[in-house]
Amino acid sequence: MVLDLTASSVELTRAICDIPSVSGDEKTLADEIEAAISAYGHLEVIRHGNTIVARTDLGRAQRVAIAGHIDTVPINGNVPTKDIEIDGQPYLWGRGTVDMKAGTAVQLKLAAELSDPVVDITWMWYDNEEVEASKNGLALLAADRPELFAADFAILGEPSNGEVEGGCNGTLRAVVRTHGVRAHAARAWIGENAIHKAAPILSRLAEYRAREVEVEGLLYRESLSAVRIAGGVAGNVIPDACEVEVNYRFAPSASAAEAEEHIRSVLAGFDVEITDAAEGARPGLDAPIAKQFVEAVGAVPQPKYGWTDVARFSALGIPAVNYGPGDPHLAHHDEERVPLAQIDAVERGLRAWLTSH
């Protein structure tokens, strides 16, 4: 098939959602995007792996980076898409409709149509966002082609219910280990049960009260959760090891180093290994260009609780926000669905700002 970038954003969403692109398997969709966008002479098109970049070069005073990932979490019987109605409101149902192919579809349509925007634009559609950071297409592009990230402002098309979500929480993962002594379960007193020793870890996490932290006028809610527990040898053996994996979502006022210090404080006395950490992103909504954007789309800024690639731009000193159709609560859900009206509204908002501010 050939993507038709003159179609409506809704139809374009349907088309790209119906091309499976689970993380690691984005080549087919990347090929389609490259072929479609290369037909537009006002754009310089650059391919880096399965990441596609399309840039205007009009000599404008400011440049905006607008990015969206093209991968999804695994499909679970929810492709192809279908039209549904809830309380009289039309939706498009299926994997990727929320996270985040509706946002990507809007971007593709506008990239094709806006040959004379009031700012120069660097459009980025990238792979492997849903998996480990070492595979992230945006991160790999930044390492090889950092000059492509030059911008005064950045927008990620992550689902935000058609509102503006500023910055994002940081995220940290840790493995907390307990150690014991193996023994026959019939003589349990001979050994030391490592799974039992994990009980205080779970108690501390269950009793933990997550903080709410105000950052530049937005109230970020943190969370500290056990996300995995593993242990055991056999049905008749006292286990000598147990692991509890913990995920900490921390407000962007804190650094990853400060988040690690907090985790170690909460879990003092236990063997804690930090396995992954990503800095959050401050909202950056005090930048004049960010204020213009928020005013143009008529949004009331909200905090972004999940981590998104806005953090990559924030780390470069570029204010960045999330703005896309879809309810974040339905991201990765088997009933993932997006209101058609939100797709149209986000397209109108972006178009208005990019052509008149």
Catalytic residues: 71, 129
Q: What are phi and psi of 190, to 5 degrees?
A: -75, -30
Strand partners, 215: 218
Amino acid identity, residue 245?
E
Q: What is the largest CA-CA distance in the chain?
A: 78
Question: Do the beta carbons of residue 164 and residue 320 sit within 8 Å?
Answer: no
Q: What angle do CA 97, 101, 102 make, to 5 degrees?
A: 70
| Neighbouring-strand partners of residue 322 | 156, 165
How far, CA to CA in Å, does 269 sit from each of 177, 249, 250, 266, 272? 11, 22, 22, 9, 9
DSSP 51-113: EEEEE--S--S-EEEEEEE--BSPPSS--S-EEEEETTEEEEESTTIIIIIHHHHHHHHHHHH
Contact indicator for 98, 73 with CB cutoff of 8 Å: no
Name the burial class of residue 356, with classes exposed (0-12), middle (13-18) and buried (19+) by CB atoms within 10 angstroms of its CB. exposed
Instruction: Classify 278 as helix, strand or coil.
Output: strand
Tokens 């880096």, residue?
48
CA distance 45 to 56: 9
DSSP 224: E
